[in-house]
């Protein structure tokens, strides 16, 4: 018989105590993990098992014009849900809901009988009348929650700028997309107690967590000016049947966009979601995301750069009084560059810079560009904002096409001087011309003025950019006078308004397709501003491939005049002459 010694007994007791301690520590560690480390996650899982929630969609923030007019708002609709485990009469429920919501009855019945799924969303954006019918039917397992439908009071007004939202109220285009984080708000929910089958427990409490509405945006856009521009460009589109008729109106001193028009447009309340090609083409804001060769409107920058360099004492620059010789053609790197009209009957010969602007004479601007040289001219081109996006608060902005300076040949520089071999967005062009006429300072264009909470509390105010000086105030004043004469005596006569000082420049550019000139296809434009001595408004009109007449002086300048005349009447502006 084996004898147990005291020593052996002590060893066994110690081992037993270690085992108990280990089990205790393991149990303590497990409890610590469950209650402290994984506590929140496990609580959430448990809550999900005995609580069912219905989402509450927040009201999307409103979008207002500069004067507080509603451009985008909401109307209350409803979302319909079904919880299969809580449905007591599947056949009756399927028949009623399929009839009321215009759903396939067999597919709906299948969903209701599929108790492996906790919840189905049957339909969103259900109107109040239909929601009332469903409530009156009192179907077990069928629930409704309030939703919001985005509405645009004036349909197609400012449509490409505002953009639109998805059926789930997520911004998909335009400002709705760009400022979605501000507009969307925070979702709420209704929590109800349910058993493990997902059936609501009778008499249980309900927890309501309200949704927080999105923030409201106030734009720089003036709806009154927007309507004026929309109506005028609709008229231009119908008369000249162009591929597109576009206009921007801006405050040249701040960069605040007052109107943006793209025709044809689309009704934001009736989007062609089943035709993506049509939706994409009609919702495209070509003024910001498409580029083109500006043609003669670019001569404004060539003239401004030359005059500024002359003022600085650059011996290669020309004075405004310099008389250029025969301006019929220029030969650069073996290429012959001609003026647009052929100089028949001695026209455009022996001109100064003012006459060259009035007549939009290409060879004179070839001389200016070549005299400035690539390095100097490119300094001005970049300072006027070309070759990079303006930074406007809008998605998808393009930066244009500007040849790398190291690759520019004399023939390229010559053509850039009169608006070829360089491409830009219309927005870049109007921002650059604004810098020429506003005193010489470049200001970044912008669309958002301020952000407020639903109760009106100011969250953020956006101020105009400080801007950077491009040309002197003296050169800017000189350019204003010269561009005013283009309207009174030159190619811009169709924009002249009796009693008001208007300045501007026409442009007619050939279009290129696959690297070659597209025969008979033009982009016709006019950029104008008033009052010419102290500009408050600047407008760019673009007609893309107009039928028949294609000169900017004929198919673009008259519509700038119409817009200016109606702004004068709407704002009761007094004559400046």
Mean pLDDT lowest for which of 132-146, 294-308, 338-352?
338-352
Question: β-pairing, 206-209 with 503-513?
Answer: unpaired
Residue 241 has pLDDT above 70, yes or no: yes
| Greatest mean pLDDT among 97-101, 335-339, 539-543 | 539-543
Largest CA distance in the chain: 140
CB contact set of 428 (below 8 Å; sequence gap of 6+) = 385, 386, 390, 399, 400
What is the token pair recorded at 126? 């259900």
Is the distance from CB of 337 to CB of 331 less than 8 angstroms? Answer: yes
pLDDT at 203 over 70: no
- pLDDT of 47 reads 44
**Which has the higher per-residue pLDDT, 310 or 88?**
310
3-state secondary structure of 532: coil
DSSP per residue, 357-423: HHHT-HHHHHHHHHHH-HHHHHHHHHHTTTTS----SSTT----B---GGG--HHHHHHHTTT-S-B
Give residue 346's pLDDT: 54
What share of the chain has pLDDT > 70, as a percent?
86
Instruction: Assess whether pLDDT exceeds 50 at residue 48.
Output: no
- Chain segment 293-307, per-residue pLDDT in tens: 999 999 999 999 999
Any idea what the Cα angle at residue 506 is, between residues 504 and 509, rounded to 5°?
150
Say how far apart CA 477 and CA 534 lie, in whole Å.
9
Domains and CATH numbers, the chain: 56-189+204-219 (3.90.1310.10), 223-265+283-571 (3.40.710.10)
- Give the pLDDT score at 339: 83
Residue 191 pLDDT class (50, 70, 90 cuts): low
Strand intervals (E) in 100-256: 120-126, 142-151, 188-193, 206-209, 216-219, 244-250
Cα angle: 566, vertex 161, 437; to 5 degrees: 55
What pLDDT is stored for residue 466 in this prediction? Answer: 81
Give pLDDT, residue 125: 87
**pLDDT value of residue 4:** 52
pLDDT number for residue 325: 80
Rounding to the nearest 10 degrees, give the CA dihedral for residues 303, 367, 347, 530. Answer: -10
Residues 49, 85: Cα–Cα separation, whole Å: 13
- List, by residue number, the catalytic residues: 296
User: Which pLDDT does position 45 carry in this prediction?
Assistant: 47
pLDDT for position 51: 46
pLDDT digit string (tens) for 454-513? 999 999 999 998 889 999 999 999 999 999 999 999 999 999 999 999 999 999 988 877
pLDDT at 297: 97
Question: Is residue 338 within a helix (H) or strand (E), and if so which, with residue range?
Answer: strand 335-338
Residue 528 near residue 437 (C-beta atoms within 8 A): no
Question: What stretch of H or E contains 81?
Answer: strand 70-82
Residue 308 φ then ψ, to 5°: -65, -40
pLDDT at 195: 53
- CA 97 to each of CA 101, 181, 307: distance values in angstroms, whole numbers, following the listed order: 6, 35, 75
Q: Does 2 have pLDDT greater than 80?
A: no
Query: Per the structure block, which two tokens stand in for 8?
Result: 């052996």
pLDDT band at residue 193 using 50, 70 and 90 as cut-offs: low
Angstrom distance (rounded) from CA 390 to CA 379: 16
Coil, helix or strand at residue 467: coil
pLDDT at 263: 97
pLDDT greater at residue 391 or residue 85: 391
Residue 148 tokens read as 């919001």
- In the beta sheet, which residues pair with residue 256? 446
More confident residue, 209 or 418: 418
First to last CA, the chain: 132
Give the C-alpha distances (Å, rounded to integers) separating 66 from 70, 217, 409, 498. 10, 10, 46, 29
Burial 524-533 (b: 16+ CB within 10 A, else e): bbbbbbbbbe
Say how far apart CA 563 and CA 152 lie, in whole Å.
24
**Full DSSP string of 43-55:** HHHHHHHHEEEEE
Nearest to 229 by CA among 287, 149, 308, 293: 287
- Averaged pLDDT, 301-322: 97
Residue 388 CB partners (closer than 8 Å, separation 6+): 382, 399, 400
**In the predicted model, what is the mean pLDDT of the chain?**
89
Cβ pair 476, 438 in contact under 8 A? yes
Neighbours of 227 (CB within 10 A): 17
Nearest to 188 by CA among 150, 135, 148, 139: 148
Question: Both tokens of residue 343?
Answer: 């100089």
**pLDDT (0 to 100) of residue 43:** 52
Per-residue pLDDT, averaged over 29-35, amounts to 60
The pLDDT score that the predictor gives to residue 25 is 73
Question: Over pLDDT 90: what percentage of the chain?
Answer: 72
CA dihedral 526, 472, 253, 457 (to 10 degrees): 150
181: Cα within 13 Å, side-chain hemisphere: 1
CA atoms within 13 Å, Cβ hemisphere of 529: 27
In this predicted structure, what is the pLDDT of residue 177? 98
Span 388-406, average pLDDT: 96
């Amino acid at each position: 018989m084996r004898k147990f010694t005291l020593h052996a007994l002590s060893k066994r007791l110690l081992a037993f105590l270690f085992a108990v301690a280990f089990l205790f520590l393991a149990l303590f560690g497990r409890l610590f993990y469950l209650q402290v480390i994984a506590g929140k996650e496990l609580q959430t899982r448990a809550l999900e098992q005995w609580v069912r929630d219905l989402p509450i969609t927040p009201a999307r923030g409103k979008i207002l014009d500069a004067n507080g007019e509603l451009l985008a708002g909401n109307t209350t609709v409803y979302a319909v849900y079904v919880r299969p485990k809580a449905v007591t009469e599947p056949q009756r429920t399927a028949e009623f809901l399929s009839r009321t919501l215009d759903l396939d009855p067999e597919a709906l019945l299948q969903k209701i009988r599929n108790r492996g799924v906790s919840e189905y969303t049957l339909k969103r954006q259900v109107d109040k009348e239909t929601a009332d019918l469903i409530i009156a039917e009192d179907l077990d397992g069928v629930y409704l929650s309030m939703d919001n439908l985005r509405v645009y009071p004036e349909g197609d007004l400012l449509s490409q700028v505002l953009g639109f939202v998805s059926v789930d109220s997520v911004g998909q285009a335009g400002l709705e997309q760009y400022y979605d984080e501000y507009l969307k708000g925070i979702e709420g929910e209704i929590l109800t107690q349910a058993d493990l089958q997902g059936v609501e427990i009778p008499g249980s409490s309900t927890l309501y967590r309200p949704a927080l509405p999105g923030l409201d945006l106030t734009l720089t856009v003036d709806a009154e000016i927007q309507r004026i521009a929309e109506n005028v460009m609709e008229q231009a589109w119908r008369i000249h049947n162009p591929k597109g008729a576009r206009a921007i109106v801006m405050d040249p001193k701040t960069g605040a966009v007052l109107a943006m028009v793209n025709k044809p447009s689309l009704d934001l309340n009736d989007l062609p979601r089943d035709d993506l090609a049509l939706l994409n083409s009609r919702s495209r804001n070509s003024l910001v995301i498409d580029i083109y060769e500006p043609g003669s409107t670019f001569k404004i920058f060539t003239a401004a750069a030359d005059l500024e360099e002359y003022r600085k004492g650059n011996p290669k620059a020309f004075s405004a009084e310099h008389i250029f010789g025969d301006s019929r053609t220029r030969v650069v790197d073996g290429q012959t560059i001609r003026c647009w009209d052929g100089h028949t009957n001695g026209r455009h010969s022996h001109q100064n810079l003012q006459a060259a602007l009035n007549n939009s004479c290409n060879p004179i601007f070839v001389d200016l560009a070549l005299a400035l040289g690539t390095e100097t001219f490119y300094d001005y081109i970049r300072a006027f904002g070309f070759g990079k996006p303006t930074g406007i608060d809008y998605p998808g902005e393009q930066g244009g096409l500007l040849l790398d300076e190291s690759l520019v040949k004399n023939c390229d520089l010559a053509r850039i001087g009169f608006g070829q071999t360089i491409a830009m967005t219309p927005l870049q062009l109007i921002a650059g011309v604004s810098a020429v006429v506003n005193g010489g300072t470049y200001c970044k264009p912008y669309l958002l003025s301020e952000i407020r909470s639903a109760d009106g509390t100011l969250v953020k105010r956006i101020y105009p950019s400080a801007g950077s000086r491009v040309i002197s105030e003296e050169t800017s004043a000189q350019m204003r006078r010269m561009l005013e004469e283009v309207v009174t005596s030159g190619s811009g006569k169709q924009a002249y308004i009796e009693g008001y000082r208007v300045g501007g420049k026409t442009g007619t550019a050939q279009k290129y397709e696959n690297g070659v000139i597209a025969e008979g296809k033009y982009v016709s434009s006019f950029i104008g501003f008033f009052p010419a001595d102290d500009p408050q408004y600047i407008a760019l009109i673009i007609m893309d491939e107009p039928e028949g007449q294609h000169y900017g002086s004929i198919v673009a300048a008259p519509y700038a005049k119409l817009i200016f005349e109606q702004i004068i009447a709407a704002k009761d502006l007094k004559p400046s002459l």
